[in-house]
Amino acid sequence: MLKKLAVCLGLSLSINAFAGGMGCPDGGCNDVGDWDFGFEALYLKPQYNGMFSYIGFYSYQPSVNSTYITEYLEYDQKWHFGFIVEGSYHMTAADDYNLNWAHYKSTSGTTWFDDNALNTPLTPPSNFVSFGNLTTNWDQVNIERAHRFYNSDYSIRVHGGLSFSQVKTLEQAEYYYNVAPAGFTYSYREFKYSGLGPRLGVDGHYNFTDNFYLLAKGATTLLIGNRDFDFSSRFPAAPTGPRNNQGTSSQKALIPELEGAIGLGVSMDTGYGRYTLEAIYRGLIYWSVAERPFVSPSRNTPSANSDLMLYGAGLKLHWQGDFA
């Protein structure tokens, strides 16, 4: 699923920034004012693959001498709200500086129960219950310089600068099974990536009328930063007594990021400046942003690498004008 969505974003990049300055639909930004500010409400859903796509797994043997079957317990990701705030200063009708910040946080919980999960010819009947919470925190800050090419029908805004991203993922999971030694197993995994890198993007606007337009945006960033991973687990019912496992890892990582958006906008000129309302569908992806270093090659588990994608809708209110 992630690969298909990433391909779609990549195709849209050639014509279309997750956040970025207003496109000035009629082409004349400084005719309205030197300053602009915007706020966008986001309604997004996270999507992982690899290790953060599932809470755990169990294996069972349907019959004697048969092949073991492994079942993965996937997270049910939820929709949550976020926001983007931005501001720009326009030196000329074609040039501006833009600063924007995007923030998003979501928590998804999963409870899974199977009263025969471990009931096989080789084990007694048993219950298996799994509880899990997955929290995703995403922040992105961009500072960019832009130049705009425009006429009465369209505008193309090329922008570039620096981007900072931080992705934090926290998983807390608890498992219970009544096969001896029965008891709870607690698992805690926390991942954080913080990276800084160059950013390049293109915004396109096509004007149906002076006040109604189609927008398409795209941008990419190459981040370099630290990828940290903390792991701990507790086995109070281990055969030899309680046992705790812990591990940490920190490494430099080069992470590509791609984003795209498409939407419709309407604008209105007043004596206090220009007001714009945009309805946008957008998505972004960070490739291999999470990596678990503690994986046994003999275990039949999904990849230790995880991509993160966020996708959904946004509603943006924008003002451009002068303070004087």
Among candidates 296, 297, 295, which has minimal Cα distance to 305?
A: 295
Q: CATH topology for 2-107+133-165+194-221+257-321?
A: Lipocalin (2.40.128)
Per-residue pLDDT tens listing for the chain (324 residues): 444 444 444 444 333 344 445 445 444 444 667 899 999 999 999 998 877 777 666 666 666 777 767 666 677 788 999 999 999 999 998 999 999 999 999 988 766 555 444 444 444 444 455 667 889 999 999 999 999 998 889 999 999 999 999 999 988 877 665 555 556 677 788 889 999 999 999 999 999 998 999 999 999 999 999 999 888 877 665 555 666 777 788 889 999 999 999 999 999 999 889 999 999 999 999 998 887 665 444 444 445 678 999 999 999 999 999 886
**CA separation for the pair 170, 64 (Å, rounded):** 39
Bridge partners, 104 (sequence order): 82, 138
Report the first-to-last Cα separation within the chain, whole angstroms.
51
Residue that has been written with the tokens 């090419």 in this structure: 149
User: Are 170 and 193 spatial neighbours (Cβ–Cβ below 8 Å)?
Assistant: no
CA trace torsion 127, 128, 129, 135 (10° rounding)? 180
**Which contacts of 65-71 are long-range, i.e. CB under 8 A and separated by 24 or more positions?**
70/300, 71/117
CB neighbour burial string for 272-308, b if at least 16 within 10 angstroms, e if fewer: ebbebebebebbbbbebbbbbeeeeeeeebbeebbbb
Residue that has been written with the tokens 């992806």 in this structure: 285
> How many CA atoms, within 13 angstroms, populate the side-chain half-sphere of residue 98?
35
Residue that has been written with the tokens 């931080």 in this structure: 166
Cα 51 to chain centroid distance, Å, stands at 15
The per-residue pLDDT for 12 is 40
Among candidates 3, 2, 32, which has minimal Cα distance to 319?
A: 32
Cis peptide before 181 (omega within 30 of 0): yes
Pairing of strands 69-74, 54-60: antiparallel
